[in-house]
Amino acid sequence: MPPTQVVVRRLPQPQDVRWEQILTENKEVLFPKLGVKVQPAGRTLVNLDTIVYTDESRVSTKTVTLLGFPVVVEATPMSYSWDFGDGGPVLITSTPGKPYPAKEITHKYMKRGSTKVTLTTNYAARFNVADTGWQYVDGTVPIAGPPTVLLVREAVPVLVDPPR
């Protein structure tokens, strides 16, 4: 009679939780997709300073469960990558911008048309598994927000003879 094999399964431990698992299973929940606010709203003019900002930027803390353990994840916005949708270079800032009259982050469109402005927020992250202490994640996690549609129009000045 062959010997009986006994398989002993080790229960998961908090140290078994890895950042890659957290990110793969919970990325959509943990990191806010920040939207772009545009002033003037919805449309702008060629050669006009168009103001962009996001007012939702803050540290986000969420708790998820992985391998049966509560995992607290903290996401801190570190930088913002603005794509104005006109083929120009992406602008990277360390702040989320501010509404008028601040004019902190602006862009001038050179030709008319419809475009989409997008914001990618680069988050620093740390996590705590079952209250065993914070673990910091190397690098940042880029999260693209929803596009904001913007119509760029061109104003043409016309001289008129005013009625007397």
Domains and CATH numbers, the chain: 14-152 (2.60.40.10)
pLDDT for 22 equals: 86
State the chain's mean pLDDT as an integer: 90
pLDDT tens string 26-80:
888 889 999 999 999 989 999 889 999 998 788 999 999 988 999 999 999 999 9
pLDDT tens string 113-134:
999 999 999 999 999 999 999 9
Structure tokens at 119: 């914001």
- Taking the C-alpha atoms of residue 90 and residue 135, their distance in angstroms, rounded to an integer, is 31
CA angle, residues 135, 139, 144, in degrees to nearest 5: 110
